[in-house]
Amino acid sequence: MTSSDFETLKTELEPQIDAILAQYPQERSALLPLVHLFQERLGFVTPEAVEYISEVCDVTRAQCQSTISFYTLFYRRPIGKYNLQVCRNLSCSLRGARQIMERFRERLGIDHLETTADGLFTYEEVECLAACDRAPCMQVNLNFVYDMTPEMVDEILDSIIAGTYPVAPLAQSEQPERKVRGPEWSRASRKSAGAVGVPNANNGGGIDQTGRTIAERFRKFGIMPISSPGRMADPELVEGMVPAPHDDTVMEHNY
């Protein structure tokens, strides 16, 4: 985007910008709504947008950048027109999220936080989407898709490619690169102490004692019906779970 293009966009958005600023007694309170506004129009938060938002909100560029980088739904690089976010948290993993993620990676030919060469799809594996009762689940441009199966992956992708999917594409003002996020300086590539020796965030080396303890409680109190008709379950995770007790003994564990 050229500087003249951005000036044209600013002029077009000026009534909305003024209306947002008027809602707050302090200009800095309008920072997040303004970031949303520019991302909706540009597809990501451009350096020009950061400069302008910092100015009208009376904050430094560093403050604006740090706020944007804190929220995972803001992007500082272009992304695909369809952002595919698959939940990989506990409930979805127990219901077969691994198979869903493998199918997406196989079909798209990309990995976590990457975009296809045509700029159509960005793929991301995310933490809990708060729809555990309909696991496994995902979002397409923040629109929920529940009770996912590997077959549904093909249906979703084929529908988007054909232009018949009922969710509108995101704005895209620049062609995205393959990587959506990544280390921008050498220290960023270092692992935290708890991640050393763990090759994949989706496979921490099986279920440890803490995981078995949690699984015991789930089974005992009926929180997680593993074999519900028509639902999926990850067999490797299920095998790692101990049988539920058949009496009313209360398990003593320290949390």
Domain boundaries, the chain: 3-70, 82-162, 209-239
What's the pLDDT tens digit per position in 42-62?
A: 999 999 999 999 999 999 999
Token pair 């093909």 is found at 154
Token pair 């500082």 is found at 76
CA dist 100 and 80 (Å) reads 19
Strand ranges in the chain using DSSP code E only, listed in sequence order: 82-87, 114-115, 121-126, 138-140, 143-145
Residues of 90-113 as b/e, b for ≥16 C-beta within 10 angstroms? bbbbbbbbbbbbebbbebbebebb
Instruction: For domain 3-70, give the CATH number.
Output: 1.10.10
Instruction: For domain 82-162, give the CATH number.
Output: 3.40.30.10
User: Residue 148, exposed/middle/buried by CB under 10 A (0-12, 13-18, 19+)?
Assistant: buried
Of residues 218, 9, 222, the one with CA closest to residue 240: 218
| pTM exceeds 0.75 for this model | no
Q: Which residues of the chain have pLDDT under 50?
A: 184-189, 203-205, 225-232, 242, 244-246, 249-255
